[in-house]
Amino acid sequence: MTTPLSFRQSVDHMVQHAMSVLDLDPGLRDVIRTCNSVIQVRFPVKLHGKIHTFKGWRATHSTHRLPVKGGIRYAPYADQDEVEALAALMSYKCALVDVPFGGSKGALQIDPSQYDRDDMELITRRFATELIRKGFMNPATNVPAPDMGTGQREMAWMAGTYKHLFPDDINHQACVTGKPVHHGGIRGRVEATGRGVQYALQEFFRHPGDVAGAGLGGGLEGKRVVIQGLGNVGYHAAKFLSEEDGVKVIAVIEREGVLLNPDGIPIQHLRDHMVEHKTIRSFPDADFEEDGRKALELECDILIPAAMEGQIDEQNCDRIQAKMIVEAANGPVSFGADQKLQARGMVILPDVYVNAGGVTVSYFEWIRNISHIRFGRMQRRHDEQRASQYATLLQEITGARLSEDRRNSVIRGADEIDLVRSGLDDTMRLAYQEMRNTLLGSEQIHDLRTAAYVIAIGKIARSYHDVGIY
């Protein structure tokens, strides 16, 4: 029996597969494929009078554009292989959706549930200090963001640490994204990755031929969805898709098991239950079963893995019965499983596309930080005044009268969240159309993942080519 590929090898195989379609200089292939630099840090923190040592990493995959960008994950199983794989995915993701950043990723080997808030603050500030001192966190060159196990709180501590060390850096707020809104964050960043999953599916369903190719028909309304992981990404994706697009979430898979309800699980209710009870077992509106992984094999229309990498591998891929897979997590399908599923004609919307909403809105946040102004601040009232004049003119010409409510909704100027959502929606639509055109326009490309990589690698290669390698 052959040993299964590591996550990094699995991503590398997918990339090499796409590279075989492109006519690239072999030297340039290696430059693009491999991580440029990886740092491992070990640092002590004194907690309640006892010294603890922690280990973390930050990998920079591709510096063809700066800053490099990508989240920092807190997990007990984190290791260098995973960080390198995730850093590579960040480069391709940014290139695909035209976010002008290189790729990076970080991780700290820690189980956050074992520490209280004050401990976490000390550990996070100490980790940030290590990264800053070694040049792996800086508004111009390397900008972290939240990932699994981290959120606004950790980003605020990291930004605070940077500001403390470099108070004279006028762009200090841009050293990290995913911050709380009142500390330089942007509205819509928390929901962004899940929102991007929703926009990706909406765009897919705008193409009836593509939908038919997955053995489906009609729109999103009523589609049966199985989702793995109700963390930040899974929760927002499931909430928006069920509340706004009418999909039926028939199963939610979590670490301790799976909740099943063929009529659809009320996602907000479940999330509130999880926050209050710290378990899904006692949730009243669905049946609980222990074997969560088995539920990936349920018959459904759309399977959304939104948790960990490597969930669909060569062991279970033949039993997957979903019509299509939407990769909200990074790397949920292994290279071997991907090959087998593609051979079966399974439609897979790939991770580098589906979960790019997070980094897209991080880009907006970074722009907001370096421009030192909230989106919409200059033009919102002006837009409203013009719209109001048009509405008055329309009334005068037609003699019709608009109700107060109708008039207000017509003239309302876009605020920050409207602009963020519109920018994200546009990004997800354009990237899908680019993947689709690449797929349809080539006889050598047979799936959306290869199309995504071909586009991303082509853009990175072009940028190396234009600037030159030195």
One-letter amino acid of 128: A
Q: Which is nearer to ligand GLU, 139 or 358 (CB)?
A: 358
User: In whole angstroms, how close is the CB of 197 to ligand GLU at the nearest point?
Assistant: 12
User: In whole angstroms, how close is the CB of 358 to ligand GLU at the nearest point?
Assistant: 4
Contact 228, 264 (CB under 8 A): no
Q: Which is nearer to ligand GLU, 24 or 181 (CB)?
A: 181
User: In whole angstroms, how close is the CB of 22 to ligand GLU at the nearest point?
Assistant: 24
In the set 105, 239, 248, 340, the catalytic residue is 105
Question: How many angstroms separate the first and last alpha carbons of the chain?
Answer: 43
d(CA 110, CA 56): 9
Q: Which is nearer to ligand GLU, 259 or 356 (CB)?
A: 356
Token pair 């030297």 is at which residue? Answer: 27
Q: Which is nearer to ligand GLU, 159 or 359 (CB)?
A: 359
Assess whether 93 carries a catalytic annotation.
no
User: In whole angstroms, how close is the CB of 357 to ligand GLU at the nearest point?
Assistant: 8
d(CA 304, CA 436): 20
Q: Which is nearer to ligand GLU, 56 or 70 (CB)?
A: 70
User: In whole angstroms, how close is the CB of 253 to ligand GLU at the nearest point?
Assistant: 20
Q: Which is nearer to ligand GLU, 69 or 323 (CB)?
A: 69
d(CA 447, CA 433): 14
User: In whole angstroms, how close is the CB of 177 to ligand GLU at the nearest point?
Assistant: 5
Number of Cβ within 10 Å of residue 83's Cβ equals 28
Q: Which is nearer to ligand GLU, 177 or 438 (CB)?
A: 177
Q: Which is nearer to ligand GLU, 177 or 202 (CB)?
A: 177
Residue with nearest beta carbon to ligand GLU: 71
Backbone φ and ψ of 54, nearest 5°:
-120, 155
SS (H, E, C) the chain: CCCCCCHHHHHHHHHHHHHCCCCCCHHHHHHHHCCCEEEEEEEEEEECCEEEEEEEEEEEEECCCCCEEEEEEEECCCCHHHHHHHHHHHHHHHHHCCCCCEEEEEEEECCHHHCCHHHHHHHHHHHHHHHHHCCCCECCCEEEEECCCCCHHHHHHHHHHHHHHCCCCCCHHHHCCCCCHHHCCCCCCCCHHHHHHHHHHHHHCCCHHHHHHCCCCCCCCCCEEEEECCCHHHHHHHHHHHHHHCCEEEEEEECCEEEECCCCCCHHHHHHHHHHHCCCCCCCCCEEECCCHHHHHCCCCEEEECCCCCCECCCCHHHCCCCEEECCCCCCECHHHHHHHHHCCCEEECHHHHCCHHHHHHHHHHHHHHHCCCCCCCCHHHHHHHHHHHHHHHHHHHCCCCCHHHHHHHHCCCCHHHHHHHHHHHHHHHHHHHHHHHHHCCCCCCCHHHHHHHHHHHHHHHHHHHHCCC
User: In whole angstroms, how close is the CB of 227 to ligand GLU at the nearest point?
Assistant: 18
Residues of this chain that bind ligand GLU (CB under 6 A) = 69-71, 145, 147, 177, 330, 355, 358-359, 362
User: In whole angstroms, how close is the CB of 93 to ligand GLU at the nearest point?
Assistant: 6
d(CA 333, CA 312): 5
User: In whole angstroms, how close is the CB of 158 to ligand GLU at the nearest point?
Assistant: 13
Catalytic residues: 105
